[in-house]
Amino acid sequence: MNTDLSERVDRWLEHIRALVDEIGPRGSTTEGERRGSEYCERILTDLGLSPRVEPFRSARSIYHPHLLAAVMVLVAVGVYPLAGRFSAGVAFVLSLVGLVSDLMELGFRDNLLRRLVPKGDSQNVVAVVPPRGQHKQDLVLIGHVDSHRTPIVFRSSRWLGAFHLFTTIAFVTFSAQTVLYGLGTVTQWGWIWPVSIPSAVCAVLLAAICIQADCTPFSPGANDNATAAGLVLTLGEHLASEPLEHSRVWLACTGCEEVQHYGAIDLFRRHQAELHRPTAVVFESLGCDGPAWLIKEGIIVPFYASRDLVALAERLANEHPEWRAYPTKIAGGNTEMADALRVGIPAITLCGITADGRLPYWHQTGDTVDKMDPEVLTRAYAFTRAYLQALDARTVPGPVEGDH
């Protein structure tokens, strides 16, 4: 390993340790997240990059909207048999609004539940590094500062698999309840209410899962995602001394990714109009495995990394087998790549998700600095730096139809 790369990785590890060991868990909208953002601002300021702290309001918990949806389903079950067609109509509306709003929440869309949940203050930290030469494009580098809670459903791959199975069953029963209660407003068939009882059971279980999750401590968040915020800072130092030739680079340490990406949404809402031929590169959980690049992610709506960005990653991986880079995908989760793609910006996520789609120490109390592998970090940094240089050197393409 050359001296420069070794020093970059050592600096990266310093940032991870500062965020995890000195600041600690960084739950969305909490004091810990605010202190993490202050650290990012201080580092970027010391580099002479004049960062901006951009405040926004965010949900405090990713679980609150789903808890509200479960409550709406339960109220609908209780109301349905009380007053004939009138109560059946009320139950139908409650079921429909709860189901549709919950699906919209999973797709990052504004909805009634999002408007009702408690909010708190958060912030992004954003700095810009101009190019050495002619400005031809913008590269937006994103790593989130916040860390998640540690619910039982993330305790092991078996628990996570059971949770994914349960949520599928719950979605089916909630959908069936909505259809049946719609029919009941017209038919008043007596069998409809007893058949909807499984939906009520699923709603009780979903509410219990949400309440349990919000009673757990926040993860230390070393891999997810101090590695990403730390990488943005380390690249910032590198780019401050060695800017890219034609790419203006936006360094974004975002808040509230763990509560449905409020930070990334705010970032693109504020700045999309001033971005010039932008490309977004998102960093996620790079300390234990990888480097890899996501080709697909999603919960309800699938998102695919832009084809030309995937092709570039494949080329670099083939040219440098020593980096052991590989493609991967994740089901039941999203990175901030989705937020760029939703507004029409080509994007890819560079990550440490395993080849079979597992994320090490995901939302667990064991996500600590001692799990970080310097050899993995070294390969990830070399791959990332080469990827940015290759992006800078390419002929900037127009949008490819079907990428988004």
- Residue 72 has phi, psi (to 5 degrees) of -65, -40
pLDDT in tens, 288-297: 999 999 999 9
Q: Report pLDDT for 341.
A: 97
Q: Which residues pair with 143 in a beta bridge?
A: 253
Q: Report pLDDT for 402.
A: 37
**Residue whose pair of structure tokens reads 């058949």 in the numeric block:** 195
Three-state SS string across the chain, please?
CCHHHHHHHHHHHHHHHHHHHHHCCCECCCHHHHHHHHHHHHHHHHCCCCCEEEEEEEECCCCHHHHHHHHHHHHHHHHCCCCHHHHHHHHHHHHHHHHHHHHHHHCCCCCHHHHHCCEEEEEEEEEEECCCCCCCEEEEEEEECCECECCHHHCCHHHHHHHHHHHHHHHHHHHHHHHHHHHHHHHCCCCHHHHCHHHHHHHHHHHHHHHHHHCCCECCCHHHHHHHHHHHHHHHHHHHHCCCCCEEEEEEEECCHHHCCHHHHHHHHHHHHHCCCEEEEEEECCCCCCCEEEEEEECCCEEECCHHHHHHHHHHHHHCHHHCCEEEECCCECCCHHHHHHCCCCEEEEECCCCCCCCCCCCCCCCCHHHCCHHHHHHHHHHHHHHHHHHHHCCCCCCCCCCC
Look up residue 242 and give its two tokens.
């060695």
Q: Report pLDDT for 78.
A: 97
Q: Report pLDDT for 399.
A: 44
pTM over 0.85: yes
At what angle are helices 157-187 and 84-106 packed, to 10 degrees? Answer: 150
- Picking from 40, 353, 397, the residue whose alpha carbon sits closest to that of residue 226 is 40
Q: How far apart are CA 91 and CA 77, in angstroms?
A: 7
Q: Report pLDDT for 355.
A: 87
Q: Report pLDDT for 400.
A: 39
pLDDT in tens, 176-203: 999 999 999 999 999 999 999 999 999 9
**Residue whose pair of structure tokens reads 């949400």 in the numeric block:** 210
Q: Report pLDDT for 396.
A: 56
Residues of the chain with pLDDT under 50: 1, 397-404
Q: 360-371: b or e for each residue (b if 16 or more CB lie within 10 Å)?
A: bbbbbeebbbee
Q: How far apart are CA 273 and CA 261, in angstroms?
A: 20
Q: Report pLDDT for 395.
A: 64
